Structure formats: C-alpha cells, structure tokens
A and B are shown apart, each in its own frame.
Chain A
C-alpha cells in the first residue's frame, strides 16, 4: 500500500493542491457477546479503504472509497479537489497549517498475544463460564463481552510524510442485571458498557480475570435491588476510577478540544466554556488537579505513534496545579493560539476526516490509597461505576449516575444505595476536589465509544485516574416517583 500512497500523493501534487494527505486503513474487529450463558453475538468484521484530504485555495475537500485501485485513487483525488473548490465558494480566511516535520517510520502496539490468534472457542468458553457464574435469582440478565480491534494505517502527505502504524486494542468485561418488582439494577466489572479496553493484546483481557469478579458482581447487583434510593442533599463524595474517568472525559476532555472552542463543532456536540482568554488564566480546579493529554501512555486507548496528520504523539500539559494551561489542537487550529499541534487528530475510519480527539486525558495521581481516603472521610458517599451521563453543549452543567453508592460514616463504608446521581458545574466541581489518591490507585480506563463530528465518528480514548474526593456536591437529583 506504500506505493499506492505515494501514487495518491503524486496525483495530489499534479492537481496543484496546497496540501494533501492520504490514509489507507485496514481494520479487523471481533465482537463476542454472551447473555445468560448463550452466545448472542459472535462476529468478525473487516474493512479496507482510503481517504484523500486536500487543501485548495485555503479550503478543504475530502473523499474516500472502499475500492483500492489506482483508477479509483485517481477518481477520488479528482472528486476531493472538486469538493475543496466548492468549499471555497463559501469561505473566509484561508486555512493555514502549523508546521510539522514530515514523519517517517512505523509502529506496532506493544503486545504479547495476538487477540485474533487466540482460538475463538476458548474465548467463547470463558465468556460462557463467566456468564454462568452470575446466573440465578434475582439476576435476569448475565452478560459477558469481548472485543478486539486491529487497525493498520498508512499515512502519506504532500509534505513528505510516510508512516505505517498498527494499533491493537483488546478488552471486555461482565455485567449482571438484577430484575424484580419493576426495578432493575446493574453491576459491572471492570467498567460499565461492555468492560474496559487497552491498546494491548489478549494478555490485557486475561489480566482482567473476569471469572474472579463474577460472584461479587452478582451479589452486589442482587443487593442493589433491595437497597434504598440514594438520598438527596449536599454531600462529600468519593468517585471510583471508572466514574472519575468519565467525569474527566466529559468535563475536561471535551472542553479542551480547540475545534470546539472556536466553534467548529457548535452545530452538533456543541462548543466549550473554555474560551481563548481562559488559557493560562482560569483556575480550572483545586491545586491537586494536574491533567495531561498523553498519547504516549503505555496501554492507553488513545496511545499511538503519530496522529492522522503525521504529528508525533506527545504529552501535553492541560491543567497544572489547577490552572488551565493547554488545549488539544490540530495543525489547522493550533495557529489560533500561536502554538503547534498537540498531535490530537484522529479519524474513526478511512471514510472520515481526522478531528481533534482526546488521546489519554489523564488526571495525575497525588497521594494515599483509597482505603486511607475513605478512612479520612467522616461523612459522605463512595460512588462507583458509571451508569448515566449528560452534559450541556458548553460542558458546564453535568449530571452523572453511578451503578452503586456506599454510605461513608466515620471513615467506614456502610450501607449501599441504588440509583445514585450527582450534578454540578465544571469549574466549581473540580475546585471542590480536596484529595486525589496516589500512584498505587492510578489506573487507565478506555472509553471506546466517544462520539463526535458529522458524519458521526466513534473514537477510542483513554483516561488515567486515581479515585478522588469532592466536597459539597449536589447528590440525588433524580425525581423519585
């Protein structure tokens, strides 16, 4: 495909584009789902195609196709140029790109076991076993999941870039749903919505040891069915890693995307409260809040060698001691703040343009263990595992629900509550943080379902977090009926 890539670049040069790039992408995906010990889904999908992005007279055009032949490449380059010229009919200032040295090289996700080489029967047997362990009253739905993705991308540009990288992602998990008296309650491991994922091989899925957690997951789901609803009020809360990862995702990860900030996404997912004058000026959170966007973090679901503009992976400071110091940017948007690209552009497939996507937006650890943090809390709630999420189009007012809450009294976990929710406003919430656990509790969570863009794209992104404590948070806002 390298030759085809160079052919596409040559055609773009001949067409007189100011800039052009091509991505050839081959993907393979395996999805397994077991429900009540029955294999409900076992599928494998392959995709292959290419996309051509051109800049003509300062305007973009993009076209793509599943037919990988020289003739189709020529047609697609032509149409991409026609589309770019049409973009120029409704244009203003020409797009300029931040400089980057042309990338050359190759990369493969470090892994020890190819997830596709593990016999399907073995994987299914494990999932069925996990599901069986969670079955029995009052569990109505006992699910186990596995998924693996392999994505090979060859990127070439008219500036001379040529990279070849293969990203391997693996993950899965279990969930038990207790059903009874018009109520359902779910517990999941290691995270909700089909588990947790990493850039890694099958060894990552093995490390989750889903069988060892099945009995606890079942028991907690059953207990939740009988538990009282979470009471409302202003409370101290401790968030576990799974919930905190999504809190970081929604209220830090998305607002720092510079394309949102300058209005490029305003019609769909919205823009951001983090307007440009807030850079280096906003106290985003308390002094304990240190956040980086780190595409180099081993195992993170947003880990790679180059982004889809050929910009090398980097670790970017986002929040330092609570102060907002950096956005995630692209070559097009970085000049707006006088900086270079942070290497955040990724496309979900060959048929999509790259957008600014989170890499691994990580809340850095501080000190202590979760046990010590709970022991240090006189009165509060420990909320675990995301169940529900919603945030406004500027990323300020959020509301989350978790699968379970434990009451904390005098430094000890007490009774559990069902249907816990909490709500807040982003900077107020992060400024209310008075404890973040240390490195021993820090863990990477993978979010494989981050939506953005039109046409829609689903990105795989990561968040490293350790449990943290927040004061005076509004809890239990849900209508009880």
Chain B
C-alpha cells in the first residue's frame, strides 16, 4: 500500500501554500496504487501494477490563472511545479469571470476504504480468475476480462482555508465469456473486493454465453427492448457527459438549454448525481475541495438542474453556487461533470419486464456508444455479448448484433417499466434495467 496519509500530504500542501507568491493558491495531491489482472482464453495474459503520486498547483493573481502538474512528490518537483504555475499565471490573460477559489465547506466523510482490498495480492486476484476459467472450461467456453484492485488518496488545500482529504479503495470483476459464436457479459464493482458478487458474475457471464450460441439475424427497425443495467448505464453516462454540466448549458450546447423546469423525457425517469449513495461511495468533495452536493438533474421527466464548479457558478452570480463537481484543473476547459449518476428504479423485476413483452429484444450491453446529434441526444452504438429475441413473454433465442441510432430522451419517454433492482455498472452509473417501446435499430451485422 502506497498511502502517504493525511498528515504527510497536508505537510506537503502547507509548504506549497507558504511558498506561493500568488494572491490565491490551490494544491491537489494524489497518490494511488493500481493492480489489474487481465485474462483472455481462460489464462492470465496481462498482469500489471503501478504506483502513482502527483501534485497539481493552481495559482491566481489578478484573475490570471496558472496550472502546473507533475507526477512526483519530492521537494524539488513540488517547488518546480509551483514556480511553473506562477510563470504561466504571469503571462496568461485575465479571466474576468473568475471570482475566487472556493472557501471551505462542511465535508462529511464517506467510508470507502477497505484495508484488505488495499493489501490484495496477485495470488488473490488470480484465484478469482481461476474460478471463472474453471466454470468456463466446464462449458467448453473461454473467459476474458479483468480483476482490479485500487487504492487512492487525495488532498485538496487552498489559501482560503480548504483542507479536504479522502482515501478509498476499489475493486472490479468483469467477465466476457465466449462459447462458440455465443458471448456473455457480467460485471460487479465495489469499494471492497469481498463485496464483489463474484458468483453472480461467473454464473451470469458463462450462462449467457452458452445461451447465446447460434444467434439468428433479424431485420433492423423499431422494436421493444428490455435493456439490462449495463446497456442503460452507457446511455445515462453519455447523457451526463453531453448535457448535465453547467458549461454545456451556459454555452447553449446542452439538450437542457431553455428547458429547465420543462418535461424533456418520460415521467418514469429520475436521474440525480449523488456521491453519497451507499452503492457508489464517491469522493465527498471535488477537485476544488468543495463538498459534493446531491444534485437532481431530471426528476419525473422534468429537467431540474445541472452541476457546477466554482468558476461556472461564478458566471451566474447570485443564482448558483458550486455543486462540488469540479474536474482536475488541467481539464477545467471541459467544465463541471456529474460522476456519480444514480437513476431511479421502478417496481418490476427483469423477469417481469421480459414476461410482459409480446415481441422484443433483451439487450445485455452496448458497444462504442457515441454521439450523433448533441442537442437531441441522438446516440448510436452496437449491441454485444448477449442479445436475445423475446416472443410472447419468453426468451426464444439469441440474435446477431444490431446497431441502434436513437434520440435517447425520446426513447426514455417511451419507458414501459423499470426494475426495482439496480446495478452499479462500468461507467460508474447506478441504474435499473428498463423496458422501452419502439427502440430504433438502424443496422445489422453478421455476428
């Protein structure tokens, strides 16, 4: 484990703040240790680890901002990084909209550190892979995927009194199993390795691969779909990227423009950003040290709000405060972003959604989802790793993959049911499975 600890990071931060000649100074210190065991064809083929530490300094003088970052925490690097930030600040034009670095806010800690996960050995990760590979072999199938364990800590301090520290661990188990021309996917993630439901991941990915053999082609067109959480999550994450940040709204580039307070999708849709959700356990503050607020984005289909950092909030004085969604300073030109999206579930079960479908598709997940038209949230992507035809409430067999091109908010307005159960998916979104009527598929492929 590579943690420096709060006291040591604070000591380093104080040296930066004391040495700075700027009117305002902010320092972000991070350390991390990542281990990832990757496997394919039932063997571990890549197995990696890394130990990181970084410092990012932002200095402000006369509203001129300089940002410098370095990947080391020795005294010379720290001094050089501060000097570089001040050098950039000296020549950068004034940013008139900038007000100040944030003042400290009340930060309630979020418990997200598991010592056993931080100390996980490569042998322990290999053990999970071995269990999955054995299950796959029993079905003459091949497993690919990853087991990952991570440890991280962050300290944000600034000259206006912010001192925010957080440490966390993370674990992920992801499986894509192929069985002939069949393919199945399952995943789980949590702050602790012991909380991963590895049995479910193994059972679901192997079982789905077996069931999706010999897929049959169907024509593209509009058809009802039951989207599993992984498929829903990739759509919701893209909505977050496109439209739930204040910058896109202020610049007229969000599907929320002119629609705050208006209905933009179906009543069944409520999406919030909530780092404090027990399943997510996100960082309790952002990269400016501002406490992350719970932000309603869409409530019962109505556009409610977007997320802010201190700069974007300052552009709308008196109307908004930072919601605690600043990105690291080097990515500030992208604006604030939601990173802990939670979508409300409904009252159905997955089996119930399938049973209530006369003719439709069950979609495990999408591949390579991208934007076609930003203002209408038109997205495209492919199905993968298990797409099945539903007829008269029953799954009748696998089908070959399809491309969708769909205005997602319009599609969400055709929601015909959401599951009560929700899953935390790869994009960091907690979401249910959902049924949508008339989802538009625009292309086919031969597998």
Q: Which positions in A face B, CB cutoff 8 Å?
A: 31, 33, 35, 38-49, 51, 59-67, 76, 79-80, 82-87, 89-92, 119-121, 124, 128, 140-141, 177, 179, 182-184, 263-267, 270, 273, 351-353, 388-394, 396-397, 399, 401, 419, 421, 423, 425, 454-455, 477-479, 481
Contacts and interface: CB of A to CB of B under 8 A. Distances in A.
A184 B253 contact: yes
B225 to A, nearest CB: 15
B42 A92 contact: yes
B43 A90 contact: yes
A254 to B, nearest CB: 11
B370 A66 contact: no
A44 B122 contact: no
Please name the 4 residue pairs, one residue from A and one from B, whose CB atoms are nearest each other, closest first. A86-B122, A351-B50, A267-B144, A47-B71
Q: Which of A62, A177, A265, A266 has the most CB of B within 10 A?
A: A266
13 contacts: A42-B67, A42-B92, A46-B69, A47-B70, A60-B47, A86-B123, A264-B46, A390-B382, A393-B384, A399-B372, A399-B405, A478-B380, A479-B378
Contacts of B343: none
Given A40-B333, A90-B39, A479-B378, A121 B91 contact: yes
Contact of B407 (A62, A182, A479): A479
A455 B52 CA distance: 14
B267 interface: no
A455 B48 contact: yes
Nearest to B144: A267
B418 to A, nearest CB: 23
Contacts of B87: 120
A90 B129 contact: yes
B405 to A, nearest CB: 6
Given A392-B401, A397-B444, A454-B38, A66 B329 contact: no
B88 A44 contact: yes
B27 to A, nearest CB: 14
A61 B446 contact: no
Given A90-B126, A92-B42, A270 B144 contact: no
Given A38-B95, A65-B51, 4 more contacts: A46-B69, A265-B40, A392-B445, A423-B442
Given A45-B69, A46-B69, A62-B47, A267 B372 contact: no
Nearest to A180: B252
Contacts of B403: 390, 392, 397, 399, 423
Given A87-B47, A263-B40, A397-B445, A140 B253 contact: yes
Contacts of A90: 39, 42-44, 126, 129-130, 133
Nearest to A46: B70
Contact of B332 (A41, A141, A425): A41
A183 B375 contact: yes
Contacts of B373: 401, 419, 478
Contacts of A270: 367, 384
Contacts of B97: 38
Contacts of B112: none
A140 B36 CA distance: 43
A266 B44 contact: no
B251 interface: yes
A352 B48 contact: yes
Contact of B50 (A46, A64, A393, A399): A64
A54 B50 CA distance: 14
A277 to B, nearest CB: 16
B217 interface: no
Contacts of A82: 121-122
B52 A397 contact: no
A264 B52 contact: no
Interface string B21-65: 000000000000011111111111111111111000000000001
B345 interface: no
A90 B124 CA distance: 12
Contacts of B43: 90-92
A119 B92 CA distance: 11
Contact of B88 (A35, A43, A49, A265): A43
B395 interface: no
Contact of A478 (B38, B44, B72, B405): B405
Given A39-B95, A141-B251, A64 B51 contact: yes
Contact of B45 (A63, A124, A264, A388): A264
A266 B178 contact: yes
Nearest to B88: A42
Nearest to A394: B447
Given A45-B69, A66-B72, A401-B372, A454 B36 contact: yes
Contact of B370 (A49, A61, A263, A388): A388
A35 B311 CA distance: 14
Contacts, number: 262
Contact of A83 (B49, B148, B376): B49
A263 B39 contact: no
Nearest to B444: A397
Contacts of A124: 91-93
Mostly helix, strand, loop or mixed at chain B's interface? strand
A29 to B, nearest CB: 9
Given A86-B126, A397-B382, A263 B48 contact: no
Contacts of B446: 396, 425
B423 interface: no
Q: Which of A35, A119, A421 has the most CB of B within 10 A?
A: A421
Contacts of B410: 481
Contacts of A40: 95, 332-333
B374 A399 contact: no
Nearest to A455: B36
A396 B39 contact: no
A393 B369 CA distance: 11
B34 A455 contact: yes
Nearest to A425: B445
Interface string B316-351: 000000000000011111000000000000000000
B330 A43 contact: yes
A393 B382 contact: yes
Contacts of B378: 478-479, 481
B359 interface: no
Contacts of A62: 46-49
B207 interface: no
Contacts of A85: 122
B252 A392 contact: no
A62 B178 CA distance: 27
B294 interface: no
B304 interface: no
Contacts of A266: 40, 144, 176, 178
A392 B386 CA distance: 14
Given A64-B49, A66-B51, A87-B47, A184 B374 contact: yes
A258 to B, nearest CB: 13
B440 interface: yes
Nearest to A266: B144
A390 B67 CA distance: 34
Contacts of A42: 65-67, 88, 92
Contact of B69 (A44, A184, A419): A44
B405 A479 contact: yes
B405 A43 contact: no
A264 B92 contact: no
A259 to B, nearest CB: 9
B67 A43 contact: yes
B188 interface: no
Contacts of B123: 86, 89
B252 A84 contact: no
Nearest to B254: A184
Contacts of A49: 71
B368 to A, nearest CB: 5
A86 B121 contact: yes
Contact of A41 (B133, B333, B370): B333
Contacts of B192: none
Q: Which of A90, A141, A177, A392 has the most CB of B within 10 A?
A: A90
Nearest to A63: B49
